[in-house]
Amino acid sequence: MLALAHRGVVEGFYGPPWSHQDRLDHLRFSAEHGLNSYVYAPKDDPYHRALWREPYPDDRLALLAELAQEAERNGVRFVYGIAPGLTMRLDDPADQEVLHRKAAQLWDAGVRHFALLFDDLPAELTADRLPLERPTEWLGARHGAVCRAFAEGFLAPRGVHEPLPMVPTDYAGTQVSAYRTGLATTLPETSPVWWTGSDIVVGSVSEPEVTAAAAAFDRPLLLWDNFPVNDFDPSRAFLGPLVGRSSGAAHGLVGLHANPMASAVASRLALATVAEYAWDPDGYDPDAAAERALAAVAGPDADALRPLVRACSTWPPDVAGDEELTTLAERMLGPDRAAAHAATLRWRERMAALAQMPPGQGRLAEELRPWSHAGAAMGAAGCAAADLLLATLGRVPGDARRPLEARARDALDRAERHYPNVLRGLVPPLVRALLPAAGDDPVTDEPWALLVTGRRPTAGEEQIEALLHRHGLRVRRAPDGCGDPRLVVVLPGAGPDEVAAAAALPHPLLAAAHPVTAGLAVRTGVVHRETAVTIVAPDHALADGRSGRVVVHEGPAMARWTEPGPDAVVVAVAEEEHRPVLVHHPQGARLTDGGTAPADRVTTHLGPDGLAPWLTAPAGLALVDAAVAFLLGGAAVR
């Protein structure tokens, strides 16, 4: 098969954008690897999106002009993306003129290729501008009309007749929709539409999916491949090759643009393989491409960085570890002692390579330094786990294994302090499976808390348990024979029946998960890339004396929001989306399941990782501490 016509990168991620030097270097990298286009669309450039109406200041415009010139020198098409959808009055000719004036400034600076982007528009920003009848179809039609007016009213008079690419609001999935139907009535027939696959971030793209999506849009299709982008989880670094894109899928595409990570140099490991796929989809070999990419990008640091790159080469994002390590972990915990022994030896070899990585010296090694430190610590934990298992398989007596257990526990604690995520979904669960299971505290007359959770705790749940101990509470996972708990805590590992039973108890309850099942929310979800919350009820005890912006995470992460009951008091909201994240349902408050709160209930901002040590900022821990103190009727523990 011939190469895709459009092969490139779209700088379209959220968070800190690439530097000017990163972009210049990328254009040269593109020329070296057969990429022929670069789309400028960083979400955090205000003049691209939030302030699209405003002209660029002279200094920033000069940088864009230099990029256009450098792209031309390297045979790369520099495409400037404008994203007017947040505030554009779609049926107002005056706003169309504003769009043309903005593009004219860029044209005068030397930009000759444009794209219009209407992605990621919050529903509440467009609802008041939509007609009552067939609003979604109208929105699609108006977006197409804006593109047609731009192509005919701005580009054509300047002698540009190439198709104008665009990003629709409905950019994922393969089905016909009202929006896509409306878009097809007005968008120029030759305009290609960017599409992300069956979902926003995908593990695979197949020929049937491409065929269905192209038919749904009734326009040429460009793949906006959200790979190796990590803005949804900046703790990850995706360093492996492009996988899961069939050669047949390319037959229905006019091009592919990969959305990279904020780490520009590290992104090249993946982008070099994207270039190989886009140049020859039928002949693409991911493993061979990855080897060539490592040699080209890492240079003399290739051998030093190989263990880390391999550990961070999994895709899609929900895959915990590479195929070999995953298989080894399963065999290590399996019933076949001989197989477990052989697997443990190989596992230790892989972990030792990670733990003993020599420091590289180049730009790639410097950019990956946080992941190298995290990988070394995780490798040490993996080695400690292997040593413990080898002792167990060798039938070393329990007392003699105690030092090995302590070393594994200490190594795990060290590894889980790192925000960068290297094999976090694979090594810690294995270590915890080998350590003695956490048991309930002894039954005494002292006050206690009921933890509603899974069988084996996660790092975040262990921190919750430690917090409860600091409040003088013993912790149990079953209430048998213990009398009434002072506090009930619902954690992510709990099942729906357990949550429902806990919610019916007439005791104070802290819901760190499952608020809908507990009757504390109509809906719930997570916001991504959240580092802070905003206190909106500073006088409430749950605010812990804080007001305004409070940093709760050490880095961007998920925070849980709820749509609470009618009598709830919202104490804090997510910083970006302003959804409730810290909520108090007082005793007697109406709940979302139709009942009333038998005692105080609190839902927190905690996401799937809970109070994980790599994630929780001091103020985030303080807010959860204050919630426990409030429900116990006492003071927070510092």
Residue type, 582: L
Which amino acid is it at 354? L
Region of 590 (left: φ > 0; alpha: ψ -120 to 50; beta: rest) is beta
Kindly state the DSSP code that residue 245 receives in the 8-state scheme: B
Q: Active site residue: 44, 120, 280, 413, which one?
A: 120
Residues 6+ apart with CB under 8 A from 245: 204, 205, 225, 277, 281
Query: CB burial class (10 A; 0-12, 13-18, 19+) of residue 188?
Result: middle
In whole angstroms, what is the distance from residue 636 CA to residue 321 CA? 39
Q: Residue 30: which of 50, 45, 9, 44 has the closest Cα? A: 9
Q: Whole-angstrom Cα distance, residue 121 to residue 136?
A: 13
Active site residue 120: yes
Pairing of strands 113-117, 166-167: parallel
Q: Of 84, 80, 225, give the one whose Cα is nearest residue 143.
A: 84
Name every residue whose Cβ is closer than 8 Å to that of residue 446 and which is 6 or more positions away in sequence. Answer: 472, 473, 474
Distance CA 621, CA 16 (A): 26
Find out whether 195 and 226 touch, Cβ atoms under 8 Å: no
Contact between 565 and 547 under an 8 Å Cβ cutoff? The reply is: no
Angle subtended at Cα 32 by Cα 30 and Cα 33, rounded to the nearest 5 degrees: 65
Distance CA 275, CA 95 (A): 38
Contacts of residue 420, Cβ cutoff 8 Å, sequence gap at least 6? 235, 236, 237, 370, 371, 373, 374, 375
Q: What HEC string does 550-613 produce?
A: EECECCCEEEEEECCCCCCEEEEEECCCCCEEEEEECCCCECCCCCECCCCEEECCCCCCCCCC
Residue positions annotated with a catalytic role: 120
